[in-house]
Amino acid sequence: MQFMFKKRDNIKDVEEGKYLSPKFDENGLIPVVTTDFRTGELLMHGYMNDKALKKTIETKEAYYWSRSRKNIWHKGQVSGFIQKVKEIRIDDDQDSVWLSVDIGSGSSCHVGYRSCFYRSIPLGKIKDEEKLEIEFKETEKTFDPKKIYKDELNPTKL
């Protein structure tokens, strides 16, 4: 897979060069931020390995590495909510990826909400011994995960 990537041999080329030189972490993964190309809404945060990145570039559909299932994961394969990739960007030091995707009126979140980021953390002084309450910003689920996923493993790990 390394033939696709320029070796990370100097910082100037990584930051301002014209070749892709992604940095995969000690587990071979790179974090991925996925937004809705129409609204800019943040949909999810995930990971790719080199094979998932290659498949995403070539097929224009989002593939991730599932850390809970330990396999390459074609997003939407079970739910039908395929992410059509409109653009992929890489950041300054090439250690994270941004996918801008089209999911139409579909969803991104396995819990049933459109975005995985459906809860907000209140700002301001935290009192001693206070557990922080979070506020739901999406209140209606867009689908019923029990019907869609049936016996699939829940990817959330404690």
Binding site for its own copies (CB under 8 A): 3-6, 8-11, 14-16, 18-20, 31, 33, 35, 39-42, 44-45, 54, 57-58, 60, 85, 87-93, 96-98, 109-111, 113, 116-126, 128-137, 154-158
User: Could you give the count of Cα atoms lying within 13 Å of 107 in the half-sphere of its Cβ?
Assistant: 19
User: CB 66 → its own copies: shortest distance, Å?
Assistant: 12
3-state SS assignment for residue 51: helix
Listed residue (29, 85, 25) closest to 52, CA to CA: 29
In whole angstroms, the minimum distance from the beta carbon of 32 to its own copies comes to 9
Nearest approach, Cβ of 152 to its own copies (angstroms)?
Answer: 14
Q: Name which of 87 and 152 has its Cβ closer to its own copies.
A: 87
* Tokens matching residue 89: 């960007």
**CB-wise, 105 or 128, nearer to its own copies?**
128
Do 82 and 75 meet the contact criterion of CB atoms below 8 Å apart?
Answer: yes
| Shorter beta-carbon distance to its own copies: residue 17 or 80 | 17
Give whichever of 75 and 110 is closer to its own copies, judged by the CB atom: 110
Query: Taking a C-beta distance cutoff of 8 angstroms, is the pair 136, 118 a contact?
Result: yes
Q: Smallest distance from the beta carbon of 80 to its own copies, in angstroms? A: 19
Distances (CA, A) of 154 to 22, 86, 87, 147, 150: 30, 28, 29, 13, 10
